[in-house]
Every structure is written in C-alpha cells, then in structure tokens.
C-alpha cells in the first residue's frame, strides 16, 4: 500500500534510472525493468524489458528526446521505452577490445551535430593519445572513432579544420566550470 515495487527479477545492482516518457527505466547490471504509475491498489506496475542488455556504468548512457543509447557488456543498445535494439554491431568488436575500463565510459550528446559520443580510454599502449571517442550520428546512423582529450569534455564550437591552436580567444577558468 505504500507504493513500492521490487525489481529483483534481474540479477545485479541498479546502475542508474532514467525517464523516457511516462516510464522510469531502471538499468541494472543484468537488464532493464520499466516501471510506470498505474494507480489503484498496486500504485506502480513493472515490466521486464530485457535480461540480455545491462548497463556497464552510470555514465555510459545518453538520454535523447525519445530514447536512450547505452553501452552494455556485449554491444551498444538503443531503448525507446518498448524495445531494446543493438545498434553497435558495426563498431562493437573494435570498441569492446579497445576500451580499457568500461566503468569509466562517459556518454554525452552534441545537439548541434546530432552525435552521441562515448568517451573512453583505450588499452592501446603503442599510441600517443589513449583518450578516444566513439561517435554515433543519430541522423545518418553512422559510427566513427576519434581522438578526444578526456580532460576537455564538454560543448565545443564546430568549425571545419579548426584546431585548438587556431583559437585566439583566451579561456577563462570560470567559464569552464
């Protein structure tokens, strides 16, 4: 009667919870449970969405207006509130063999370019910049891998052929917070 629901039908700990429409998506290590408000005696109802796609880290998820894109143990998935679809097949093998620590992946969305970006440290020891970004363009459904400085995550101005040495404006540390 107090309005709670158990989500113990999936193994593992709760990694994070994110809203998608009227659904509260509970991401666990072993899968996803969707909880909705139903009212009446039960207050909440739940539905087991999947047991094959669990979230690897609280920061390895990107919230889009109508879906979530997240990193699972074996692929990258998109969840629209109803179904979970693997979308990382073209890049999966590279990503899963090169990511150094899955629990350190940071996901974010560039609303201007429509790119979902997962920043990660690679385990490649023979390269200079071990900070990489896996980028998924949501309009073109294309993947790419690029170098990214993990200490400089955030919004940036996009210009063609622009490198940091060409920016002549001084950076104020207060603007970087």
| 91 in Cβ contact with 76 (< 8 Å) | yes
Question: Which residues have C-beta within 8 Å of that of residue 113, sequence separation ≥ 6?
Answer: 137, 158
pLDDT above 70: percentage of residues in the chain: 76
Q: Would you kindly state where each structural domain of the chain is located, as residue ranges? A: 14-152
Residue 155 has what pLDDT?
A: 40
Give the pLDDT confidence of 35-74 residue by residue, as tens digits: 988 776 667 888 899 998 999 999 999 999 999 999 999 9
Question: DSSP character for 103?
Answer: G
Residue 6 has what pLDDT?
A: 78
CB burial string 46-58: b at 16+ within 10 A, e below: beebbeebbbbbe
Which pTM was predicted?
Answer: 0.78
Residue 177 has what pLDDT?
A: 42
Give the pLDDT confidence of 115-140 residue by residue, as tens digits: 999 988 887 766 555 688 899 999 99
Residue 24 has what pLDDT?
A: 93
| Residue 174 token pair | 């207060």
Q: What whole-number distance in Å separates Cα of residue 146 and Cα of residue 160?
A: 15
> Using 50, 70 and 90 to split pLDDT, how confident is the model at 157?
very low
């Amino acid at each position: 009667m107090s309005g709670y629901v158990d989500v113990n039908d999936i193994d593992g700990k709760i990694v994070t919870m994110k809203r998608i429409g009227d659904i509260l998506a509970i991401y666990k290590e072993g899968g996803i449970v969707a909880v909705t408000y139903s009212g009446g005696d039960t207050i909440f109802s739940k539905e087991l969405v999947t047991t094959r796609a669990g979230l690897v880290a609280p920061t390895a998820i990107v919230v889009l207006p109508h879906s979530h894109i997240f990193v699972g143990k074996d692929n990258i998935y998109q969840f629209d509130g109803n179904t979970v679809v693997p979308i990382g097949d073209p890049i999966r093998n590279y990503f899963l063999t090169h990511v150094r620590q899955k629990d350190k992946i940071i996901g974010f969305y560039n609303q201007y370019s429509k790119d979902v970006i997962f920043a990660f440290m690679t385990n490649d020891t023979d390269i200079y910049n071990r900070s990489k970004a896996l980028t998924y363009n949501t309009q073109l459904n294309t993947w790419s891998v690029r170098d990214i400085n993990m200490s400089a995550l955030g919004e940036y101005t996009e210009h063609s052929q622009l490198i940091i040495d060409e920016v002549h404006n001084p950076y104020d540390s207060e603007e970087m917070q």
